[in-house]
Amino acid sequence: MVSEWKYIFWVAGTAWLPLDQRKIWLWKNHFKLHDKLIRSLIWQFSLKCDGRLPKVLVNLYAHCGNGHQEPTLDDLQNILQRIVHGFSSTFVILDGLDECSEREKILNWIQTFVLEKDINLGLHLVVTSRPEQEIEDKLKSYHYLDLVEESENHDLVAYLDYQLKNDSDLKKCNSDTQGEIKLTLMKQADGMYVYYQ
User: Does residue 27 sit in the same domain as residue 113?
Assistant: yes
Per residue in 24-38, pLDDT (tens digit) is 444 444 556 788 888
**160 plus 143 within the same structural domain:** no
Same domain, 83 and 43: yes
Dist CA 150 CA 41 (whole Å) = 30
CA dihedral sign, ordered 121, 126, 131, 134: negative
Q: Please indicate, yes or no, whether residues 61 and 29 belong to a single structural domain of this protein.
A: yes
Residue 102 sits in the same domain as residue 160: no
Give pLDDT, residue 24.
45
Domain assignment of residue 15, yes or no: yes
Provide the residue range defining the domain that includes 120. Answer: 2-147
Which is nearest to 98 in space by CA: 134, 142, 126, 124?
134
173 shares its domain with 142: no
196 is a domain residue: no
**Do residue 142 and residue 173 come from a single domain?**
no
**194 within a domain of the structure (yes/no):** no
Domain tally, the chain = 2
pLDDT at 50: 79
Q: Are 117 and 166 found together in one domain?
A: no
10 and 107 part of one domain: yes
Q: Is residue 195 part of a domain?
A: no
Q: Which residues pair with 124 in a beta bridge?
A: 91
pLDDT number for residue 31: 54
Q: Which residue, among 169, 125, 131, 173, has the nearest Cα to 148 in the 3D structure? A: 131
CA distance 124 to 183: 38
**136 and 165 in a common domain:** no
Q: What is the pLDDT of residue 137?
A: 87
Inter-axis angle of helices 73-85 and 103-115, nearest 10: 40
116 and 166 in a single domain? The answer is: no
**Global pTM value:** 0.61
Q: Is residue 185 part of a domain?
A: yes
Model confidence pLDDT, tens digit, residues 17-66: 444 444 444 444 455 678 888 888 888 888 888 778 889 989 999 999 99
- pLDDT tens series, the chain, 197 aa: 444 444 444 444 444 444 444 444 444 445 567 888 888 888 888 888 877 888 998 999 999 999 899 999 999 989 998 888 888 888 888 888 888 888 899 998 888 877 665 555 677 788 888 878 898 888 877 777 776 665 556 777 888 888 889 888 888 999 999 999 888 888 777 655 554 44
DSSP symbols for 30-58: HTSSHHHHHHHHHHHHHTTSTTS--HHHH
Report yes or no on 197 lying in a domain: no
- CATH number for the domain harbouring residue 31: 3.40.50
Residues 118 and 168 in one domain: no
pLDDT, position 152? 56
